Amino acid sequence: MTDPAIPDLAITGGRVVDPGRGVDDPLSVAITGGRFTAPGDAGQAAETIDASGLVLVPGLVDLHTHLYHGVSHYGIDPDANCLRRGVTTAVDAGSAGAQTFPGFRRFVIEGAQTRIFAFLHVAVQGMITNLVGELEDLRWASPAQAIGRAREHPDVIVGVKVRLGYQMVGNDPEPALRLARQASEQLGLPLMVHIIDMRKPISWLLSQLGEGDIVTHCFHASEGGILAPDGRLDPAAARARARGIVFDVGHGAGSFAYRVARTAIAQGFPPDTVSSDLHAHNVAGPVYDQATTLSKLVHCGMSLAEVIRATTCAPASAIRRAGELGSLAPGSAADLTGFEFRTGERALPDGAGDTEVVAALAVPRLVVRAGQAHHLDPVTPGPEPPAGS
Ligand SMILES: [Zn+2]
């Protein structure tokens, strides 16, 4: 029996940034039994990690990833690409549907050290192939099966996913949205909607969504975006945010444009959540990982505290795990990420054909998942910019 007054682990010497509680101070962190405890206990811990030079934040939550490797063409290994890159909680965005979810849980979620949640696709097969759009034929959609599966796995399934691009649903997104809504409304869970290449205006979609629903790929530069052709923010987006609709980055291979992000942020419209949409076709660039996505959003005008909020307490509350995750408060799950900030210039592509030189890079060096610490080798993605640029 260990003495409950003696923490298992203390992390000292770092700068603690916990935006959900308005904390930005040099503090110690103490952990006992996989939970944070009062920082005052840190002095007597069984093990101490010196985090001098690191910024310590709640374990990163990446709200949009694809982790069903071996089954979905998008799937990547969660621990190599999430935990070992500073992400303690990854949310899979619809790789599995009702019929493929049991395998996802058994063969991926249960074997991973990364904490994984899932949005369940309303298409029963999920997102297996890019050869056929998953809801080009609506017979693949089953709200009834989605509802049944989500009720069997309430600890892991946190919402419903649908993609409304013409490649997935054809020219009319309305029937697929209606079926997905049916499932999410009956479950009382958020609906996450992929908006790129939707053949209806964003104002139409936003009028169909309610509080807590999530628009992902919010800074894409294709059809159906949040900016009018003159660059002004669509007033429907501001009204939707006021109603509690969540705007998520979902960087992806072709879903994030520096120019759209910068223009929206300058008009007072930063994203609510910053996520990577990391998958097999973008992990070697342009996305690389969640930390690089965070660096890009700072580059586009968000403050460090805003960006950390958008990958900690904000996504935790979007999946209704606020308090448990995304916080360093005593009693929360002991998930933590420690960053080093490097001013080493990198030429980083967005998902819209532009490359910009990003000067400040957040490089994860320490990750703690449920009280277990892992030291990370520094990875700085992307090439150095060409001389003279
Ligand atoms: Zn995605």
Query: Could you list the residue range(s) of the whole structural domain that residue 339 is in?
Result: 9-57+330-375
Q: For the chain, how many structural domains are there in total? A: 2
Q: How far is CA 371 from CA 9, 55, 302, 308, 337, in A?
A: 8, 18, 30, 20, 11
Residues 293, 226 share a domain? yes
Q: Are residues 148 and 266 in the same domain?
A: yes
Give residue 358 CA to ligand 1 midpoint distance, Å: 24
Rounded to two decimals, the pTM is 0.97
What's the 89 CA to ligand 1 centre distance in angstroms?
Answer: 16
Which residue, of 274, 297, 318, is where some domain finishes?
Answer: 318
Averaged pLDDT for residues 337-341: 96
Q: What's the whole-number mean pLDDT along residues 250-268?
A: 97
Ligand 1 centre distance from Cα of residue 387 (Å): 35
Give the whole-angstrom CA distance, residue 93 versus residue 104: 12
CA of 85 to the centre of ligand 1 (A): 18
244 and 362, same structural domain? Answer: no
Q: What is the CATH number of the domain that holds 199?
A: 3.20.20.140
158-182 pLDDT, tens digit each: 999 999 999 999 999 999 999 999 9
pLDDT 10s digits, 21-64: 999 999 999 999 999 998 887 888 999 999 999 999 999 999 99
pLDDT digits (tens, 9 = 90+) for 185-202: 999 999 999 999 999 999
Domain assignment of residue 212, yes or no? yes
- CB 320: neighbour CB atoms within 10 A? 15
Do 23 and 322 meet the contact criterion of CB atoms below 8 Å apart?
no
Q: Is residue 387 part of a domain?
A: no
The residue out of 297, 318, 339 marking a domain boundary is 318
Residues 137 and 37 in one domain: no
Q: How far is the CA of 330 from the centre of ligand 1 (A)?
A: 33
